[in-house]
């Protein structure tokens, strides 16, 4: 759990600061510069409640789309039953819950194609502070927590990872010896975040919270794990029902904690909470405190929880689809502005970039600050130094509506070719309901004074110095009409004071940064494979494409290259290589195997303890193992799979516990998984019973495995006893471990059973 206090984050929400005066930008011509106004709520009471009860908004928009007609939502829903959750992990000993929540979102997005997906929270947490440079010490690098989703989504939408767990395992000491640039981190990403949608959630608004709750449910039903944050206090948790409702009067030492919403139950009883929420209903929450906590790693968070905030979900694409992201906003969207004090119905924003190589601009990433925001994008090439962003050759871009708030990647109507060193711009006209439409970074320091004399001082999660570190003239621009452009770099710092009239006042110092627009490119010689996943169903047709209309040549399994004219059918394991006829002839290669049905995880639960069946080092790959206490004769198991799981002809429902009987010693299970379009998989699962002193039954040599060596020792022992000798066994627990079938006698049958078990291991 993040034990960061609520106080340091109350004023870090840059969008819920009190009203700021006009921020004036210096014009690039003699024309008077328009003013910029920060988004705020309509009245001081709502503004104050937002500051006190929430820690971050993209905007003051309620996030409810006009097209979001009431959906037919079920009373209960659980992503585990759909097979769309990865295994519960444990963040101990670091305050990295925010990284676990973000990675959970990405794993759920990809688990359909990658059932065994396991991405690195350590990588995200470490490089957030070591490379981006958020304020912390080296000793506190992994305990700094996260104060705002602005920080998290800023990183992820900059293609900042993620990488696999194997590349950066979560272990004490972290990856402190690793040194990578942001470019290297992007190159090594498992996937790229293309969309990051935030869902406003206002527990203090009875008028809107119901519709916002529906928006969360729709996102979960569509297969998204939704990250969220709440105030955690141990006294508010009901262990019997694994139910939670934050109550300030109960919590003695509360702190912010990040989790993921993976389901809901409208009828979850109000009586299950330590404090009466006044209504039934709760969110199913996936936590990061291990599977042995709560309800097998999950718990229920009341719909009425007053502290819940910072909701978002992520969408991704394979990292090999595009090769370069041009962007300036390392810190993400932390503010929204308008030219007019009461908001704009239309505004223009632009970023100017310089191409690093010959490439094709294929799509752009925009950031919407309110729902149903319309966009019209144009691309300009051949820009002159110090020119305005629309002074060049115009290319048709894209237009549409962003129904949700957050980052959205949109594909251009036609790709635009760029040459190395060429200056180009992405210009967007943003329009819609009157509001604050200019999305950008900004840093602040704030002071909030209460009538009783209490004073809270704070600053945004990143400092003014950090913001200016990579902020330069000629990068980001805004305009009221598309003609008169003004450089964000020339907007001066602003100091403001607000008196609420009840003895409460605030003062704020603000500095703006870059606008949230990104450009996505693909290299000239890039060949895009329609299938990025290595495991695909037989019969899949693999298409090859490139930009610019160049011919493509491909080779199968090292054979001769031939011109690509039609999709290539996948029939069996193969290696496919291809290059575009650009003169460079860079070869791109993919290896494909037949997709197999799979379990993402198999949870095992007994007598109040649970964990996952796992592969063991030294044992046959692909077999799963779990250890139970001495004398355990039953076990509950919960598979997670998008396929159909069966044991002895009986279906084991995904996301639900099923009780099975155990034999003495070792119980061997054959669990089959079937899924349309994939070959069946049979898992050999071994449930091991401990003998005494936590020693594995059958492991007479104490080398961590039950194998032929153990069987040999048992056979020698039983033979010596059979001819009247007293075998020299000094370990008093030796005979207990050697009684593999637990019939009270150490004999040749135990050795035979060990050999069978060892042989099965070798086969599987």
pLDDT of residue 195: 97
Segment of 28-42, 171-185, 705-719 carrying the highest mean pLDDT: 705-719
Q: Is the pLDDT of residue 761 over 50?
A: yes
* Confidence (pLDDT) at 495: 77
pLDDT at 248: 94
Cis status, amide bond into 455, omega within 30 of 0 = no
Cross-strand pairs, 317: 192
Instruction: Give SS3 for 72.
Output: coil
CATH 1.10.1330.10 maps onto the chain at 601-763
pLDDT of residue 124: 86
Residue pLDDT, tens place only, 274-297? 999 999 999 999 999 999 999 999
pLDDT tens readout for residues 616-625 = 887 778 889 9
Who contacts 129 (Cβ-Cβ below 8 Å, separation ≥6)? 136, 141, 142, 144
Q: Which of 746, 762, 764 is nearest to 700 (CA)?
A: 746
What is the structure's pLDDT at 696?
81
**Which segments of the chain belong to CATH 2.60.40.2950?**
526-594
Identify which of 501, 137, 95 has the alpha carbon closest to the alpha carbon of residue 258: 95
CA 639, CA 603: separation in Å to the nearest integer?
A: 6
Q: Quick one: average pLDDT of 199-217? A: 91
Residues 517-568: tens digit of each pLDDT: 999 999 999 999 999 999 999 999 999 999 888 999 999 999 999 999 999 9
**CATH architecture of the domain formed by 526-594:** Sandwich (2.60)
User: Mean pLDDT, to the nearest integer, of 654-678?
Assistant: 94
CA 51 to chain CA centroid, nearest Å: 26
Non-local (6+) Cβ contacts of 173 within 8 A are: none
Q: Name the residue among 618, 636, 4 with its Cα closest to residue 291.
A: 636
Element (H, E) at 45: helix 44-53
- Contact present, 310 and 410 (Cβ < 8 Å): no
Give 12's DSSP letter: T
CA 201 from centroid of its chain's CA atoms: 19
How many residues are given for the chain?
A: 764
Long-range contacts of 649-655 (CB under 8 A, 24+ apart): 653/81, 654/80, 654/81, 654/82, 654/83, 655/78, 655/79, 655/80, 655/81, 655/82, 655/83, 655/85
Token readout for 387 is 């020119």
Provide the pairing of β-strand 35-38 with 335-338. Answer: antiparallel
pLDDT at res. 11: 27
CATH T-level fold of 601-763: Type 1 dockerin domain (1.10.1330)
CB 193 within 8 A of CB 154: no
- What is the spatial order of strands in the sheet that 562-563 belongs to? 535-536, 588-594, 574-580, 552-556, 562-563
Is the bond preceding residue 291 a cis peptide, omega within 30 degrees? no
**Which residues pair with residue 759 across a beta bridge?**
none
* Per-residue pLDDT tens over the stretch 311-360: 999 999 999 999 899 999 988 888 788 888 889 999 999 999 999 999 99
Planar angle of CA 733, 734, 740, nearest 5 degrees? 105
Q: If you average pLDDT over each of 198-207, 344-353, 603-612, which comes out highest?
A: 344-353
Distance CA 153, CA 316 (A): 13
Confidence of residue 634 (pLDDT cuts 50, 70, 90): very high
- Whether the CB-CB separation of 255 and 2 falls below 8 Å is answered with yes
**What is the mean predicted confidence (pLDDT) over 15-37?**
42
Residues 607, 608, 612, 617: is their CA dihedral positive or negative? negative
| pLDDT score for 143 | 60
Is residue 578 helix, strand or coil?
A: strand
Q: Are 154 and 332 in contact (CB under 8 A)?
A: yes
**From CA 725, how far away is CA 745, in angstroms rounded?**
16
Query: With pLDDT > 70 as the criterion, what percentage of the chain qualifies?
Result: 87
Tokens found for residue 517: 């627009």
- Give the residue, 496 or 309, on which the prediction is more confident: 309
Confidence of residue 178 (pLDDT cuts 50, 70, 90): low
Q: In whole angstroms, what is the distance from residue 467 CA to residue 528 CA?
A: 36
Q: How confident is the model at residue 8 (pLDDT cuts 50, 70, 90)?
A: very low
CB 375 within 8 A of CB 466: no
Helices (H) and strands (E) counted in the chain, each on its own, are 11, 44
């Amino acid at each position: 759990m993040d034990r960061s206090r609520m106080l340091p984050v109350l004023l870090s929400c840059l969008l819920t600061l009190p009203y700021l005066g006009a921020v004036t930008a210096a014009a690039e011509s003699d024309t008077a510069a328009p003013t910029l106004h920060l988004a705020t709520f309509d009245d001081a009471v709502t503004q104050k409640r937002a500051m006190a009860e929430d820690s971050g908004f993209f905007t003051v928009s309620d996030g409810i789309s006009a097209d979001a007609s009431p959906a037919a939502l079920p009373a209960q829903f659980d992503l585990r039953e759909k097979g769309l959750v990865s295994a519960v992990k444990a963040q101990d000993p670091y305050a990295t819950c925010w990284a676990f929540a973000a990675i959970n979102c990405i794993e759920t997005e990809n688990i359909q194609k990658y059932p065994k997906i396991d991405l690195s929270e350590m990588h995200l947490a470490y490089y957030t502070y070591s490379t981006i440079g958020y304020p912390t010490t080296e000793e506190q690098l992994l305990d700094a927590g996260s104060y705002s989703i602005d920080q998290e989504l800023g990183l992820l939408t900059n293609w900042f990872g993620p990488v696999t767990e194997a590349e950066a395992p979560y272990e004490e000491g972290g990856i402190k010896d690793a040194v990578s640039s942001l470019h290297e981190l992007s190159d090594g990403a498992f996937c790229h975040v293309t969309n990051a949608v935030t869902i406003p959630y206002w527990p203090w608004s009875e008028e809107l919270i119901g519709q916002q709750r529906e928006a969360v449910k729709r996102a979960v039903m569509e297969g998204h794990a939704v990250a969220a944050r709440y105030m955690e206090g141990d006294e508010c948790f009901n262990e019997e029902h694994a139910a939670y409702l934050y109550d300030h009067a109960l919590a003695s030492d509360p702190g912010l904690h990040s989790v993921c919403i993976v389901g809901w139950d409208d009828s979850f009883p109000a009586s299950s909470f330590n404090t009466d929420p006044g209504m039934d209903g709760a969110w199913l929450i996936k936590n990061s405190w291990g599977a042995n906590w709560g309800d097998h790693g999950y718990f229920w968070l009341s719909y009425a929880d007053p502290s819940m905030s910072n909701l978002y979900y992520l969408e991704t694409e394979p990292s090999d689809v595009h090769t370069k992201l041009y962007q300036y906003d390392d810190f993400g969207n932390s503010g929204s502005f308008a030219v007019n004090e009461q908001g704009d119905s239309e505004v223009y924003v632009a970023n100017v970039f310089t191409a690093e190589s010959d490439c094709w601009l294929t799509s752009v990433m925009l950031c919407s600050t309110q729902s149903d925001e319309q966009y019209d994008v144009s691309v300009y090439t051949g820009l002159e130094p110090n020119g305005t962003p629309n002074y060049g050759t115009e290319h048709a871009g894209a237009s549409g509506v962003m129904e949700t708030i957050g980052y959205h990647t949109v594909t251009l109507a036609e790709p635009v070719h760029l040459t190395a060193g060429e200056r180009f711009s992405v210009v967007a006209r943003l329009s819609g309901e009157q509001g604050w439409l200019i999305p950008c970074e900004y840093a602040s320091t704030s002071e909030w004074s209460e009538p009783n004399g209490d004073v809270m001082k704070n600053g945004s999660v990143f400092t003014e110095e950090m913001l200016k570190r990579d902020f330069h003239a000629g990068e980001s621009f805004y305009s009221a009409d598309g003609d008169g452009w003004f450089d964000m770099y020339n907007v001066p710092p602003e100091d403001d004071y607000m008196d609420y009239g009840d003895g409460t006042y605030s003062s704020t110092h603000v500095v703006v940064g870059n606008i949230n627009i990104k450009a996505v490119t693909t290299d000239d010689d890039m060949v895009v494979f329609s299938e990025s996943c290595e495991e695909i169903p037989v019969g899949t047709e693999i298409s090859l494409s490139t930009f610019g209309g160049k011919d493509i040549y491909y080779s199968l399994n090292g054979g001769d290259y031939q011109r690509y004219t039609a999709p290539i059918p996948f029939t069996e394991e193969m290696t496919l290589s291809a290059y575009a006829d650009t003169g460079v002839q860079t070869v791109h290669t993919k290896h494909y195997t037949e997709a197999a049905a799979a379990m993402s995880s198999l949870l095992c639960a007994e007598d109040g303890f649970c964990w996952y069946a796992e592969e063991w080092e030294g044992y046959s790959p692909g077999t799963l193992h779990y250890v139970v206490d001495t004398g355990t004769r039953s076990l509950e198991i919960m598979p997670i799979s998008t396929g159909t799981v069966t044991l002895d002809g009986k279906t084991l429902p995904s996301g639900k516990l099923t009780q099975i009987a155990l034999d003495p010693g070792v119980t061997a299970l054959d669990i089959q998984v079937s899924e349309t379009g994939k070959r069946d998989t049979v898992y050999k699962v071994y449930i091991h019973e401990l003998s005494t002193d936590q020693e594995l039954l059958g492991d007479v040599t104490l080398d961590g495995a039950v194998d032929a060596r153990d069987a040999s020792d048992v056979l020698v022992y039983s033979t010596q006893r059979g001819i009247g000798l007293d075998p020299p066994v000094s370990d008093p627990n030796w005979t207990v471990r050697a009684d593999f079938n637990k019939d009270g006698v150490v004999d040749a049958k135990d050795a035979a059973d060990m050999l069978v078990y060892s042989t099965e291991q070798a086969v599987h």
